[in-house]
Structure 1
Amino acid sequence: MSGWRREPDGTRATTGSSTGRHRAPVRRVPRNGRSPWNRRRDRVFAALIVVVCLGAAVAVWSVSDQRGTVQRTAAAPAPRPPAPGSVPGALTEMWSAASPATPVPVAQGPTVVSAEGGEVLGRDAVTGEVRWRYARDLELCTVALAWKRVLVVHRKELGCSEVTQLDPDTGRRTAQRNSDAELGTRLVDGRGQVTTTGRRLLVSWRDDLVKTNEYGEVPALVNPGRQPRTGCTYGSVAATSGRIGVVERCPEDPGDRLTVLKAVPEKSDKPEQVFTAVLAGRDAKVVAMSGDHTAVVLPEQRLLVIYGAEGDQRAAYPLDLPAADLGGDPKGGVVPTNEGAVGMFWFTGSTTVALSRSDLTPLWTLRGTLGPGTRFAGQYVLPIEGGLAVVDEGTGATVRTVGVDRHGYAGPVRLDSTGPVVLEQRGDQLAALK
């Protein structure tokens, strides 16, 4: 038998047993006991932790890209209306919008893009109605079309470094990356890769915006000694499938240098040259590339020189053009060109020159134009003073002209078309004609 006694805290303990052994005291938790977190000081401490976490989250959000982004997407639009069977006898301006960030019209399907400040708007091609919007609290550098997507480049601290890819139908963001493009950059579409222009750096990406090549003065260099030359500046850039052409000016060269690069080398930070050659003179411009051929203007000799796959000179053609058309680097490092059904079209500044698609041989010249033109309704049209000239692509003969009221604007005009709409980029203004 064992006895029990009551302890001061309310528990009971044995006093003995017939076996002579004692049992350890058993402590019961008081029914009115409190959790440690019920104390006031603990609740205050927990509240402080929550406040600190919320404050940190707000601080991160306040400086994040998301805070400075406005995105309003849209449902997929109706199909694009068809183009007419031939260029109409009259065209009327349907709408216009400020768009200084689009060097050329940006159109895909039923959508036309305008871009100003930090804002990109997707518009109905016929009415101009805004369907979607993408805006950043950053200035735009440039906007272009590639891979049937809208490429948007915004300016950050060190240059044109924020690149966003948008679905033209909905405005939905499909890819984004940071890059090292320079201020004043343009985007050159090489049918596979897009290359940013610059005075000291060229950067190429594939369609998911993964970098494939960087050439020149690379910031934050990780692996030195991988560039073939240093101290060079770049005057003009062109591209074709798998290749990039650039005119360089290097301190030790007696003349300008033409270099053709692989758009996708084995390592993106180690450029691979297809060929490089010092040219006979200064102030050269790379005009166009097609297949293995590269066309370069030599102003001092007044020649258009065609180079082959290994840098060999295939042909040279005299140019009867004003000196102002031949000299100086093109704006943004890109010579104004466009493609037609059978050739490429180069705008010199006062004249359009048609080049053979197969080997870039000059085919014909039309003076008094305002741009390289575009295909519309199965025909090729060129901007001229007071309207458009419908021309035969093979001969350059003017079939007829169509009047266009440009409201006093007399500068260069870049054209594009989508369905029944002709688009004109008149400096900082975009206009739609139908």
Structure 2
Amino acid sequence: MGRIKPERRTRTDLIVTALIAAIVVAAGVAVWWTSPARHTESVTATTPAPVQLPAENVPREVSVRWSAQSDVTTVPQITRDSLVTASGGTVVAHRLSDGTDLWSYRRNLPLCAAAAGWTGGDNDVLAVYRNSRGCSEVTSLRGSDGARHAARTSDADDTVHLSIDTGYALLYGPTRLETWGSNLVRGIEYGRVTAPVNPDVAPDRTHCRLYSAVSGADRVAIVERCDDDPGYRLTVLSSNLTSDEKIRQWGSTLITTSAAGPAPRVVAATDSTIVVYDGGADPSGSVGAPQGPRLRLFTPQAESRSEHPVAGDAQVPERSDPIIDQGVVSFWTGKATVVLDASNGNPMFQVTDAVGPGAVMAGQLLVPMPGAISVRRVFDGHEEFSIPVDRGQVVGPVALRVLGDTILEQRGTQVVALR
């Protein structure tokens, strides 16, 4: 068999080959240039932070050890061993001893929200970034070293609120809501859905505006107002889809007769009770029930159970969020901090003139007060003593958390470590 002569490559062939190679290289450079990886800077921890053991007692005096900027959080966000702050496009975990960086994660996108959570389970930090689709890019970082281990993206509103309970993360904005498990797999999406795969998945309500939402006990409680609603509605959904891929609605009912005043605010969701703060601008509720600011308790089916007067403003301050800590929920109404039993939602007591929600330290409840931290018995609110604190010009709200023997206060957009 004779030898086959190789094909001759003409000058045109060489030019075409060179052009194809140039296009491939240019495309690769373009992909790299616009890729999230190029615009991401991740500095993971080289050594772990010291383990934070629970405090054995509450100090009688404290001083400021360090502070850090955290624009997008309203409550100090803590992992098992560090404080997490979020500003601009950067999330930073700080060592409690001196505030130095343990790890950091930065993108060239603005942060919408950040939260640390899954207490007792996964030690994770979630960072939500804004792009052309709203606050839609979510990254999960390991709390121990800052390594990225999960991400997701989906349609979202331009402004959102992020929270994490023991089972689910909850992200909601004015028109839509999502829950995710710790692996960032979506549980439910509710509200505005651009292209629903199954139109019959969600309850039959349209053009709903979401005002507040809280997750707990595998449920999501929402205050919303939908088409043809004269007032505000309380809706309770399951945090995950049913076996036939539908949203389970536990209950939904109108809780005000009009929308003339500010929307009520969901405070807590437990196995047996949904707690809503109502500023009393709309005289609603059963005949003879308390009027004015009050806590309204509902069953998981959104049926009214009881009402309890509290001190508060007609509208809860925008940066006021509940804190769940060691069996109690504390929530600042603008004029008082109300304390609930986290297991059943029942009100326990309120601390008037407080400036924010508190947390538990060595079995005592710490509540921020003007110029001090009030140390109280958890079961009845009796004050044991007071710790002087100089906050300068800061009036409130002040949200308080505890990690180890460090007291952390979020004062506006600053987080301050007291020891």
Q: Does the pair score TM above 0.5?
A: yes
Contact 1:288 1:295 (C-alpha < 8 Å) held by counterparts: yes
Q: Which of 91, 96, 103 matches 1:120?
A: 91
Which deviates more from structure 2 when the two are superposed, residues 284-293 or residues 335-344?
A: 335-344
The count of residues paired between Structure 1 and Structure 2 equals 399
| CA distance in structure 1 between the aligned counterparts of 2:244 and 2:140, rounded to whole angstroms | 21
Contact 1:295 1:305 (C-alpha < 8 Å) held by counterparts: yes
| CA distance in structure 2 between the aligned counterparts of 1:84 and 1:28, rounded to whole angstroms | 86
Letter aligned with residue 163 of structure 2: V
Distance 1:34 1:353, change over 3 A: closer
Distance 1:251 1:86, change over 3 A: same
The reply to whether residue 414 of structure 1 matches residue 399 of structure 2 is yes
SS in 2 for 1:131: strand
SS in 1 for 2:155: strand
Contact 1:123 1:129 (C-alpha < 8 Å) held by counterparts: yes
The reply to whether residue 257 of structure 1 matches residue 230 of structure 2 is no
Instruction: List per-residue Cα deviations over 1:368-418 (Å, max 9, x = no partner).
Output: 111110112332211111121111111111111112222322221111121
| CA distance in structure 2 between the aligned counterparts of 1:72 and 1:122, rounded to whole angstroms | 10
CA RMSD of aligned residues (A): 2.4
Distance 1:257 1:218, change over 3 A: same
Contact 1:72 1:132 (C-alpha < 8 Å) held by counterparts: yes
Distance 1:233 1:81, change over 3 A: closer
Q: Which of 250, 254, 270 matches 1:290?
A: 270
Which deviates more from structure 2 when the two are superposed, residues 261-270 or residues 132-141?
A: 261-270
Which deviates more from structure 2 when the two are superposed, residues 41-50 or residues 276-285?
A: 41-50
SS in 2 for 1:209: coil
The reply to whether residue 156 of structure 1 matches residue 131 of structure 2 is yes
The reply to whether residue 388 of structure 1 matches residue 373 of structure 2 is yes
Name 2:182's counterpart in structure 1.
Answer: 207
Distance 1:80 1:42, change over 3 A: same
Q: Give how far 1:142 is off.
A: 0.7
Q: Which of 352, 360, 373 matches 2:345?
A: 360
The reply to whether residue 370 of structure 1 matches residue 351 of structure 2 is no
Instruction: List per-residue Cα deviations over 1:240-270 (Å, max 9, x = no partner).
Output: 1210001111232232211100111227974
Distance 1:409 1:268, change over 3 A: farther
Instruction: List per-residue Cα deviations over 1:60-92 (Å, max 9, x = no partner).
Output: 111111121111112341432434421112211
| CA distance in structure 2 between the aligned counterparts of 1:61 and 1:416, rounded to whole angstroms | 41
Name 1:312's counterpart in structure 2.
Answer: 303
Contact 2:152 2:184 (C-alpha < 8 Å) held by counterparts: yes
Structure 1: state its 5+ residue gaps.
Answer: 1-25
Name 2:100's counterpart in structure 1.
Answer: 129
Contact 1:36 1:42 (C-alpha < 8 Å) held by counterparts: no
The 5 Å alignment of 1:316-355 reads 316-319=307-310, 321-322=311-312, 325=313, 327-328=314-315, 331=318, 336-355=321-340
Name 2:62's counterpart in structure 1.
Answer: 91
The 5 Å alignment of 1:85-234 reads 85-147=56-118, 148-228=123-203, 229-234=205-210
| CA distance in structure 2 between the aligned counterparts of 1:62 and 1:342, rounded to whole angstroms | 49
Give the TM-score normalised by the residue count of structure 1. 0.85
**Percent pairwise identity:** 35
Contact 2:74 2:321 (C-alpha < 8 Å) held by counterparts: no
Distance 1:329 1:216, change over 3 A: farther
Distance 1:104 1:269, change over 3 A: farther
| CA distance in structure 1 between the aligned counterparts of 2:29 and 2:138, rounded to whole angstroms | 25
Distance 1:353 1:68, change over 3 A: same
Distance 1:297 1:34, change over 3 A: closer
Name 2:286's counterpart in structure 1.
Answer: none
Contact 1:277 1:311 (C-alpha < 8 Å) held by counterparts: yes
Q: Give how far 1:121 is off.
A: 1.3
SS in 1 for 2:230: coil
Q: Give how far 1:291 is off.
A: 1.4
| CA distance in structure 2 between the aligned counterparts of 1:153 and 1:182, rounded to whole angstroms | 12
| CA distance in structure 2 between the aligned counterparts of 1:126 and 1:429, rounded to whole angstroms | 17
Instruction: List per-residue Cα deviations over 1:174-225 (Å, max 9, x = no partner).
Output: 1000033322211132321111121111111111111110111112334335
Instruction: List per-residue Cα deviations over 1:265-318 (Å, max 9, x = no partner).
Output: 227974220011121434322221221211123323334221123333222223
Contact 2:78 2:117 (C-alpha < 8 Å) held by counterparts: no
Contact 1:340 1:380 (C-alpha < 8 Å) held by counterparts: no
Pick the structure with greater CA Rg: 1
Structure 2: state its 5+ residue gaps.
Answer: 284-290
Q: Give how far 1:329 is off.
A: 6.0
The reply to whether residue 432 of structure 1 matches residue 408 of structure 2 is no
| CA distance in structure 1 between the aligned counterparts of 2:308 and 2:163, rounded to whole angstroms | 26
